[in-house]
A and B are shown apart, each in its own frame.
Chain A
Amino acid sequence: MQNPYIPYPVEVTKIITEVDTKDIKTFRLKFVNPEDEEKFKYIPGQFGELSIYGKGESPIGIASSPTQRGYIEFTVQKAGVVTSALHEMEEGTLMGVRGPMGNSWPIKFLEGKNIVIVGGGFAFTTLRSLINYMIHENNRKRFGKITVIYGARNPGLLIYKDELIEWQKRDDLNINVTVDKGDATWKGREGFVPTVCKEVAPSAENAVTVICGPPIMIRFTLPVFFDLGFKKENIITSLEMRMKCGIGKCGRCNVGSKYVCKDGPVFSLAELDKLTKEY
């Protein structure tokens, strides 16, 4: 029987500094034992517990897509003990990961529908996983129109900059990148995410929106989607709570009778309406 509390050993093979402030980095991890990669079979929207002995564990969304083989990626903001230690690491370091955990973005539900992805700031990581999954040549035809609205406070804080450029070249992806405030070199769109959503005005017809971002962004974006005619069943988001075990055992991340780590983190607004408002 698999002991769910023991991390798989992984090697940090690549570290990408994502933002000018240098406090958000993407870590590419390779499983030390190749058979562990098979056991860590994940779906976009799931997360893992990054483990550094002596520091602890931290639950982080998986930023790579299962269509990328040979490694997994996590984009991590430097914040607490574990993530700070992670930011000190160099390529070649050994660490651990447990997972995959959580329920994932509802891929089956998204199939055959037009998808509107809305992301804000650093919360774009599992959305990036979802986008890369959907636009993979084996998957693209299973999804309708894909619209992406992604914003950050300023150009230096956009993550996955190279990928954003690649995505913009594609004709099967409508990508809208915005910053709250541009700088001298910024030639793109300026404006808050909710405003841009209103301007892009994706149709609610056979559409689902997947929203992930800071609470304030979500608060102002939701009314825009209600006005566009999106039903609560078709607005999907991902919750954050303090977690430890990641497998629904340690008792701290519950919202009502749901453990965010196990029953979530992904919920539709309709599902959230049925839960207690304690998060």
Chain B
Amino acid sequence: MAASVLKKVVIEKINEVAAVLMQKGTLIAPVKEEAGANFREIKDPKDIYLDYYNSILSPKMVFFPQMEDFVKYQLAKPKADAKIVEMNLKPAFLFGVRPCDVKSFEILDKHFYASGIIDTYWKARRDNTTIIGYAFDLDKPVDSADFYNTLGIGAADPEGSDIFIVKKDKELLLKGITKKGEALLGELSMLEKADAKDEKYFTDYVKKGKEKKTRFMKVDDKAVAKKYEDIFENNEYWTKMSDACLSCGVCTFVCPTCYCFDICDETIFGKGTRRRIWDACMFTDFTLETSGHNPRTKVSQRLRQKVCHKYSFSVRKYDVISCVGCGRCTRSCPVNIDIYSMVEEATKL
């Protein structure tokens, strides 16, 4: 048997693959929604939308949902009680993730596993999920917002996926990258064996993916981290950068590497839930202390926090820039703020 398994399937038959995965557990794949594609649990294989560019919301929500219930409680009447919400996870298959987003999982692993304090929710879902990556379609143009090349990511990088898919005309080629992925491919009986030509096509595709150009600048992790430390108090730069910013926080909600959250209790008629929900450093009350003190009252301070977190603090803390250049923040921003241009401008200072 070859070192790694390559299989293929005609695109129409993806429904059959989906049906098997749905039997084995939860299948999550891009579906077409009003605003664009998003990763959702598949109830009907026909909903899978493979002809998408990238999802509006990042697939981090599969491991780090916007709401995660911790505890269901009942207040004193008739009797105070609290029960931990069990996750009851089935095996999950995350189908069709773009290479830059696959990379984001590895970055968030560093955070959620940091200092030996394991985020149990993140870990449970990560351990439980098979990641089926999907190369960008090299025949289609790159979105002008994307800059994943800058972060060293190619359009068809298989690293980090358990199974990696490239499109070959009317077929999909599926390559087992990890043992977990190979085992799964072995269980999908409708897949056909790929031949030597397919092997070459896959290898060439990955290689060609490296040449597919997004916006690019040379960014050295340590150098950019230092740069942002040096210009942290450069008010002129930060005021200029944040001039148009509405502090709406959409950039953080669509971002595959933003992880800030709030923990809150919601009680209705004596019964309630303690849960975490996504939060954002772009919101004024994010750092507001009970005393009234707030270290980040200005929009410029909050945008500075967001950019420095990704390009400086994260390098110092986790030895990685926490940005994958997916372009979502730029595409979503109502006032066209572009983090790539911000970094570019900073490096010139």
Q: Chain A interface (Cβ within 8 Å of chain B)? A: 1-6, 9, 53-57, 79-80, 83, 94, 96, 240-242, 244-245, 247-254, 256-258, 262, 276-279
Chain A contacts of B263 at CB under 8 A?
A: 5, 56-57, 244-245, 250
Q: B73 within 8 Å of A by Cβ?
A: yes
Known: A1-B120, A250-B262, A252-B286. A53 touches B75 (CB 8 A): yes
Q: Is the CB of A249 within 8 A of B84?
A: no
The smallest C-beta distance from A107 to any residue of chain B, in angstroms, reads 19
CB-CB under 8 A from A249, the residues of chain B are 111-112, 114, 117, 119, 259, 261
20 pairs from A and B in contact (CB 8 Å cutoff): A3-B120, A53-B71, A53-B73, A54-B265, A54-B272, A56-B263, A248-B117, A250-B260, A250-B263, A251-B281, A252-B260, A252-B279, A252-B286, A252-B287, A254-B305, A257-B312, A257-B317, A262-B115, A276-B232, A277-B233
Q: Is there an interface contact between A54 and B289, defined as CB atoms closer than 8 Å?
A: no
B289 adjacent to A242 (CB under 8 Å): yes
Do residues B262 and A256 form an inter-chain contact, with CB atoms below 8 A?
A: no
> How far does the alpha carbon of A277 sit from the alpha carbon of B232 in the complex, in Å?
9
Q: Chain B residues with Cβ under 8 A from A3's Cβ?
A: 84, 120
Contact A53 B111 (CB under 8 A): no
Contact flags B112-125 to A (C-beta < 8 A → 1, else 0): 10110111110100
Cross-chain contact B117 with A251 (CB below 8 angstroms)? no
B316–A257 contact, CB under 8 A? yes
Query: Cβ of B276: which chain A residues have Cβ within 8 Å of it?
Result: 5, 250
Cβ of B223 within 8 Å of any chain A Cβ, yes or no, is no
- What is the bound-complex CA distance between A247 and B119, given in angstroms? 9
Measured CA separation A250–B122 after assembly (Å): 13
Fill in one digit per residue for B269-290: 1 if any A CB lies within 8 Å of its CB, else 0. 0001010100101000011111
Task: For the complex, give the distance between the alpha carbons of A172 and B234 in Å.
Answer: 50
B313 touches A1 (CB 8 A): no
How far does the alpha carbon of A54 sit from the alpha carbon of B136 in the complex, in Å?
A: 46
Nearest B residue to A83 via CB reads B290
The residue in chain A whose Cβ has the minimal distance to the Cβ of B273 is A53
The 10 closest A-B pairs by CB, nearest first: A251-B260, A257-B316, A80-B290, A257-B313, A53-B73, A79-B290, A3-B120, A54-B267, A257-B317, A242-B289
Question: Does B1 touch A at the CB level, under 8 Å?
Answer: no
Q: Mark B96-117, 1 if CB is under 8 A from A, else 0.
A: 0000000000000001101101
Whether A278 contacts B301 by the Cβ 8 Å rule is: yes
* Least CB distance, A142 to chain B, in whole angstroms: 27
Chain A residues, Cβ within 8 Å of B11: none
Q: Does B246 contact A (CB under 8 A)?
A: no
Partner of A248, one of B70, B73, B114: B114
Bound Cα distance A82, B317 (Å): 32
Query: Contacts A54-B267, A94-B80 known; A250 to B261 CB distance under 8 Å?
Result: yes
Interface of chain B residues 295 through 345 with chain A (CB within 8 A): 295-296, 301, 305, 308-309, 312-314, 316-317
